[in-house]
Amino acid sequence: MDILKIPKFTPSNSLLKGKEILITGAGSGIGREVALACSEFGANLILLSRNAKKLYSLQDQIVKNGQSEPLVVEFDFEKAKEKDYLNLFEKLCEEYEKLDGLVHIAGVLGYLSPVVNTSLNQLNTVMRVNFESNFLLTQLCTPLLLKANNPSVIFTSSGVGRKGRAFWTSYSISKFAIEGLMQVLADEYESSMRINSYNPGATRTAMRAQAFPAEDPMTLKTPRDRVNDYLWLLSDSNMSTGKAYDFYE
């Protein structure tokens, strides 16, 4: 797999004006900062995550910043059944005529354990949150995405989704699956949608602290440092599809 670097990019104030964008994992970490930045640059947002309290607090902040009020969707990928996804899709179709961006950021690390010690239950849980959600949401949102001019789908991957690493079993496999989904979709919608994956690299969040508890978080880039990369992938400056991107540095 060829890995590309996100180019240097300075967003204009009206970068995402009028665009409807759904962001998963918007409650905390990278997703929260990406949501704040997208609203700052003019997007109307759908904030989706499992914790309604965090989402409503983000909604408040966005409104206080003078941006348009986002729709809050409380949705737990671990517990959701296919019919819950269908209900979500119906709700989205009632409220929106198109979707310009679908940004998959929600994810869990699961437990780090060697393949031989990883239970099927553990693998399935991580796959449900990290992969199945990306699969079902993209599948359901495709008709809305195809109604937009130049839609962009972003799958948040990882370094271990491109090169396997010992003990990262469930997480690594789930991210490899995302890369596969991205490539298949990009081939299917070559001329109508931009579909890319993105690895934010080591970033100061709760997930990173869970994976590397002894690390000094102050040595890491912050979620805010990653938002420009998402803005570029969403913007019309990005004309690529089917590509695996690494963070800008």
| Residue 189 among the catalytic residues | no
Q: Does 203 bind ligand NDP (CB under 6 A)?
A: yes
| 156 near ligand NDP, judged by CB under 6 A | yes
CA distance 97 to 18: 12
Per-position DSSP letters for 105-161, written without gaps between them: --------B-GGG--HHHHHHHHIIIIIHHHHHHHHHHHHHTTSSS-EEEEE--GGG
Nearest CA to 73 among 16, 26, 119, 4?
26
Give the residue, chosen from 70, 101, 151, 200, that forms a contact with ligand NDP under the rule CB under 6 A.
Answer: 200
Interaction between residue 107 and ligand NDP (CB under 6 A): yes
**Residue of minimal Cβ distance to ligand NDP:** 29
Which member of 59, 142, 169, 205 binds ligand NDP (CB under 6 A)?
Answer: 205
- Burial call 205-243: b when 16+ CB within 10 Å, e when fewer: bebbeeeeeeeeeeebeebebbbbbbbbbbbeebeebbb
Q: In the complex, what is the shortest distance from the CB of residue 88 to ligand NDP, in angstroms, rounded to a whole number?
A: 12
**Annotated catalytic residue, options 85, 96, 171, 198:** 171
Scan residues 76-95 and list those touching ligand NDP (CB under 6 A): 76-78
Answer for which of 49, 59, 142, 235 binds ligand NDP (CB under 6 A) is: 49
Position 60: which residue type? D
Query: For binding to ligand NDP (CB under 6 A), which residues are involved?
Result: 25, 27-31, 49-51, 54, 76-78, 105-108, 129, 156, 158, 199-203, 205-208
